[in-house]
Amino acid sequence: MTDPLSLTALAQSDALSRGTLSATELMEATLARIAAVNPSVNAIVSLRDVAALLADARAADAAPRTGWLHGIPIAIKDLAHARGLPTSMGSPVFAGQVAQADDIMVARLRAAGAIIIGKTNTPEFGLGSHSINPVFGATKNPYDTARSAGGSSGGAGVALACGMVTVADGSDMMGSLRNPAGWNNVYGMRPSWGRVPSEPMGDSFLHQLSTNGPMARTPADLAALLDTMAGSDPRQPHGVDAPPTLPQIGGGAQGMRLGWLADWGGALPMEDGVLALCRSALEQMAQLGVTIDALVAPFDRDAIWQSWITLRSWAVAGGLGALHDNPTTRAQLKDTAIWEIERGHALSAMEVHRASVTRSEWFKSAATLFETYDVLALPSAQIWPFDVTLDWPKDIAGTAMDTYHRWMEVVVPASLLGLPAVCIPAGFGGPHDLPMGVQLIGCRGSDAMLLRLAQAWHDATDWPARRPPPKVS
């Protein structure tokens, strides 16, 4: 019998529906893989009781199918609430607190038949692209366990790469679905902002930076999971409803035009080898019928950065400010969280307004680019996976990083505008032969088109199957 963990999620779903695979067999294989691999990478946390999970699988086998995920194990990123499981958010403040209800996105996965097995690791409150926290420790890159897996969806990326799950949820404010996808040789997608709803808590009008989204080892699985997550919530004002993406991803990439933004005209420092690998991937993409043009920087890098850190600090302070106001919980926050909150508290209304004006100007400039190009492309990171014992990289190619998140700047142009972006595996390189990705960025609403290009790329390369982590192969 074919190893069920080598199948895509859609292939698992098909086998389960035809009866050639049982949910019990799939759960047994999943738990065996987790037991064998997870101790060395620390990707899945708060794993549920094995007997309870096997009971859930047997119940799925005995029940009518409720959706395409029926009987498929999924672990939820530890920033989202999954009923009956702890939601630590990587913080001692919330360690051990058990969720009483599912978040919207989790409820949709469960309604489609998914069996929630546990959580995936993340940085404290998702701040920073390095999945380390004082509750569960660090998630390690399966291609080199001495190095970072990225973040904040690092646990999800590693669980996928190691075959512990076939699809995973994540969230992305500042590259958290893209950076770990690139560093773990899988696919991650930041959808158009509003396509996947957040929770109807606090302000639902002003903050448009973070979004939930899917991760997978194939674009088809990415599309299927996005379609399950997506759909507006009537309690929130900016929701987006759109046709399903999965039926639209065929047809190839012939005739698409792509603008390569590289290092933003030399403004973004890059470690040796990153740009060369990404350019090589694009040269291969050109063979699929995609026209590739190198572009000059389309907007001032420093203006984008200042707009971003103003709006981000404002959003973080709005979300975590109550923890900072309480001396007991403030004492349990990491230094970078305190810095971000205090920076947000110090902003004036007009500073926020000016940052939003800059964002609006960048949106107009980007719209002009999309009149010519279907897709803009950037590396998914400016550096190769770094030493897992570091808190964050302090320099890139000799350029000092002035904040804990400056090293992630390459993901900001898409995040600031709420644009959809798919991270595709670009291959392996650098001094340690590690994975890197390319961000494919489209205009708002172009999610299906990006997935079509990603599918064409996957059909030509299939990097996740060609180069699985050594301990899984």
How far is 341 from 408, CA to CA, in rounded Å?
19
Active-site annotation, residues: 77, 152, 176
Kind plus residue range of the DSSP H or E element containing 342: helix 335-345
Residue 43 structure tokens: 């990707």
> Contact 103/39 with Cβ under 8 angstroms?
no
CA distance 198 to 204: 9
Check residue 412 and report its DSSP letter: H
Q: Which amino acid is at 83?
A: R
Please say whether the beta carbons of 468 and 161 come within 8 A.
yes
Contact 294, 266 (CB under 8 A): no
Distance of CA 32 to the CA centre of its chain: 25
Contact indicator for 375, 261 with CB cutoff of 8 Å: no
CB 122 within 8 A of CB 90: yes
- The residues facing 400 across adjacent strands are 395
Q: Give how far Cα 190 sits from Cα of 50, 180, 324, 412, 441, Å.
A: 32, 12, 29, 12, 9
Q: Where are the beta strands (DSSP E) in 359-467?
A: 375-379, 395-396, 399-400, 421-429, 434-441
